[in-house]
Amino acid sequence: MENKKVRIALTKGRIENKAVDLLEKIGYDVSELRNKGRKLILSISGEDIEVVLAKAADVITYVEHGVCDFGIVGKDTIMEHGGKFYEIADLGFGRCRFALAVKEGADFFAGYGVKTVATKYPNVTRRHFEEMGIDVDIVKIEGSVELAPLVGLADGIVDIVETGTTLKENGLEVFHDVAPISARLIVNTVSLKLKQERILEIVDKIKENLE
């Protein structure tokens, strides 16, 4: 049981690049990860580790079902999708935040009417306003959410904010923060228990090499 391969799922894109840097810093041979072509399953030579590339939400699904032992995924996806796994470390990169944004100078809480919030993250939004005890109408938008308040569909948006430049360019501003976000290391609950030594060894190496 202990000698089986350990499989890590990485979120494609920005998190992937940072994660590969991290693996390299640990001392793993990441050449196959750098020159991956179209391959989706990659190996680290000289190690019992296999790397899988997937979209953020799929990383959670693979880890939850135990077909991957580890996952590296943003807290935003974890908050939106949930799931049963251990969230064992904050990797520090991919740092940004969920925030409620409104048109510049607007007071989101003004008046008695039920407010409308546009978002790509309906679960995060619902939970946030539930915790505040406020009724809101939530509209799910797939593309640029910033448009919704500008054309009058919504009073505000809940979205990921990094620098706030996109908001500013569209005449919006942060009304209040909802939650901080960064990349997280997640582990399947059964893997951690069945391959404890190997998994913790990797976790320690990762933690030692965080910036």
Partner 1 sequence: MKRYAFLTPEGTRDMLFEECAAKRDISERITKLFESYGYSEVITPGLEFYDVFSGKGRSIPQENMYKLVDGKNRLMVLRPDNTMPIARLAATRLKKEELPLKLFYNQNIFMVNPKDSGRDDEISQSGIEILGGDRGSAALEALVLAAKALAACDEDYRLEIGDSGIFAELIAGHGYDDLKVDKLRHAIDTKELPALDRLYKDHTDDDEAAFKALPRLFGGFEVFDEARKYLHGEVLEEKLNKLKKLCEKLGELIPKEKIRVDLGLVHKKDYYTGIIFRGYVEGYGQPVLSGGRYDKLLGEFGRDADAVGFAVNVEAAAKVLLKKDRARFIKFPDVLVFGEDNIAVMKHCEELIDEGKTVYRFLGECPKCAAKYAEEHGIKRVDIVDKDGKITSEEV
Q: By the criterion CB under 8 A, which residues form the site for partner 1?
A: 1, 4, 61, 64-67, 82-90, 131, 184, 187-194, 196
Residue among 2 and 169 whose Cβ is closer to partner 1: 2
Distance CA 117, CA 100 (A): 9
Residue among 39 and 65 whose Cβ is closer to partner 1: 65
Q: Shortest approach of partner 1 to residue 127 CB, angstroms? A: 12
> Which distant-in-sequence residues (6+ apart) come within 8 Å of 138 by Cβ?
116, 117, 118, 119, 122, 125, 126
In angstroms, the Cα distances linking 200 to 65, 84, 104, 187 are 20, 19, 48, 10
Q: Shortest approach of partner 1 to residue 192 CB, angstroms? A: 8
Q: Shortest approach of partner 1 to residue 193 CB, angstroms? A: 5
Residue among 68 and 157 whose Cβ is closer to partner 1: 68
Q: Shortest approach of partner 1 to residue 172 CB, angstroms? A: 28
Residue among 119 and 191 whose Cβ is closer to partner 1: 191
